[in-house]
């Protein structure tokens, strides 16, 4: 399996500000994924982050709102920009381990926007 950490674990932010969430993995992985889980809902994929290339965004998510960095094979960041209360969600990163063909998730970042 993989050990995945996220920072911060939770935050309360004011509308109009931005928050950067970090995801660190204890092994090198090709693909990292960012998900959003709105209150009471299932998980929705925001984007796929590959090292050395731009992230691939899903329909309804844009780079200006959710810029992603992937500087190396163990680390990625997701920024939630110009936040509004509708951005209040749990944000989770995940990785797939090629050897297992299985996805593992970080503990999540619980974001509240006032």
- When binding is defined by CB under 8 A, the residue of 1, 14, 85, 86 that contacts another protein is 1
Task: Say if CB 9 and CB 54 are below 8 A apart.
Answer: no
Candidate segments 18-26, 60-68, 80-88, 102-110, binder of another protein by CB under 8 A: 102-110
State which of residues 7, 43, 69, 75 lies at the interface with another protein (CB under 8 A): 43
Cβ atoms of residues 112 and 13 within 8 Å: yes
CB nearer to another protein: give 28 or 100: 100
87 backbone dihedrals φ, ψ, rounded to 5°: -85, -5
Contacts of 42 (CB under 8 A, 6+ apart): none
19 makes contact with another protein (CB under 8 A): no
Cβ distance 29 to 40 under 8 Å?
Answer: no
17-25, 65-73, 78-86, 91-99 -> range binding another protein (CB under 8 A): 91-99
């Amino acid at each position: 399996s993989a050990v995945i950490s996220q920072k911060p674990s939770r935050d309360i932010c004011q509308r109009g500000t931005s928050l950067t969430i970090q995801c660190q993995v204890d092994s090198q992985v090709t693909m990292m994924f960012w998900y959003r889980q709105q209150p009471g809902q299932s998980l929705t994929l925001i984007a796929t982050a590959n090292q050395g290339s731009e992230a691939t965004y899903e329909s309804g998510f844009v780079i200006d709102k959710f810029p992603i960095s992937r500087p190396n094979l163990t680390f990625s960041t997701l920024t939630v920009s110009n936040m509004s209360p509708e951005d209040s969600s749990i944000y989770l990163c995940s990785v797939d381990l090629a050897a297992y063909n299985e996805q593992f998730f970080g503990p999540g970042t619980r974001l509240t926007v006032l």
